Structure 1
Amino acid sequence: MGRVGVRLDVAVDALPGRAAAALARVDVPWQARWDELASLVAELSDLVRGGPGARVVARELAEVLVGAAQGGAQRAAVAGLADRVLDLHAVACASGPAVDGRELATWLLWLQTGFAEPPEVRLAAYAPALGEDGLAFYRAEAVARFERLPVIGFGRTGRYDRERWALLRVVEELAEHTGDVDLQVLVLSRDLSSGWHYLQVATVLRDAGRSAEAVAWVERGLAATGGRGAATRLVDLGVDECLRAGWADRAVALRRRAFLAHPTWESYTRLRSVASASGGWPSVREEVLGLVAEAEDGDDVLRRVVEGEWAEAPDGRAPEWLRRLRAELALRER
Structure 2
Amino acid sequence: MRLDVVMDVLPGRAAAALARVDVPWPARWDELGSVVADLSALVRSGPGARVVAQELAEVLVAAGPGGHRAALAGLVDRVLDLHAVACLAEPPDGRELATWLLRLQTGFVEPPEVRLAPYASSLGRDGLAFYRAEVVARFERLPVIGFGETGRYDRERWALLRVMEELAEFTGDVDLQVLVLARDLSSGWHYLQVATVLRDAGRLEEALEWVGRGLAATGGRGAATRLVDLGVDECLRAGWVERAVELRWRAFRTHPALETYLRLRGTAAGAGVWPSVREDVVARLRDGADEVLRQVVDAELGAVSGGPVPEWLQRLRAELASRES
Q: Distance in 2 between matches of 1:252 and 1:63?
A: 58
Q: CA RMSD in A?
A: 2.0
Which residues of structure 2 form unaligned runs of 5+? none
2:32 corresponds in structure 1 to 37
Contact map agreement 2:219 2:254 (CA 8 A) in 1: yes
2:238 corresponds in structure 1 to 245
2:314 to 314, 323, 330: 323
TM-score normalised to the size of structure 2? Answer: 0.92
Q: Does 1:188 align with 2:181?
A: yes
Contact map agreement 1:185 1:204 (CA 8 A) in 2: yes
Q: Does 1:16 align with 2:16?
A: no
Q: Distance in 2 between matches of 1:30 and 1:16?
A: 18
Moved more, 24-33 or 171-180: 24-33
Instruction: Give runs of aligned pairs for residues 2-151 of structure 1, distance below 5 A.
Output: 14-69=9-64, 71-94=65-88, 96-151=89-144
C-alpha spacing 1:332/1:195, structure 2 compared with 1 (3 Å): closer
Deviation at 1:314, TM superposition (A): 6.4
Q: Distance in 2 between matches of 1:301 and 1:21?
A: 72
Deviation at 1:163, TM superposition (A): 0.9
Q: Distance in 2 between matches of 1:75 and 1:322?
A: 68
Deviation at 1:242, TM superposition (A): 1.7
Contact map agreement 2:106 2:159 (CA 8 A) in 1: yes
Which residues of structure 1 form unaligned runs of 5+? 1-9
Partner AA of 2:307 in structure 1: G
Q: Distance in 2 between matches of 1:76 and 1:110?
A: 21
Moved more, 73-82 or 164-173: 73-82
C-alpha spacing 1:304/1:23, structure 2 compared with 1 (3 Å): closer
1:272 corresponds in structure 2 to 265
1:312 to 303, 314, 324: 303
C-alpha spacing 1:314/1:55, structure 2 compared with 1 (3 Å): same
Contact map agreement 1:98 1:129 (CA 8 A) in 2: yes
Identity among equivalent pairs (%): 75
Q: Distance in 1 between matches of 2:86 and 2:54?
A: 10
Contact map agreement 1:11 1:17 (CA 8 A) in 2: no
Q: Does 1:287 align with 2:280?
A: yes
Q: Distance in 2 between matches of 1:79 and 1:332?
A: 68
Q: Distance in 1 between matches of 2:22 and 2:321?
A: 89
Deviation at 1:147, TM superposition (A): 0.5
1:226 corresponds in structure 2 to 219
Contact map agreement 1:153 1:191 (CA 8 A) in 2: yes
Deviation at 1:323, TM superposition (A): 3.4
Q: Distance in 1 between matches of 2:203 and 2:7?
A: 58
Contact map agreement 1:127 1:135 (CA 8 A) in 2: yes
Q: Does 1:153 align with 2:159?
A: no
Contact map agreement 1:289 1:302 (CA 8 A) in 2: no
Aligned residues: 321
Moved more, 319-328 or 279-288: 319-328
Please list the CA deviations of residues 23-75 of structure 1 after superposition, one character each: whole Å capped at 9, or x if unmatched: 22222222111101101101111221222221111111111111122x22223
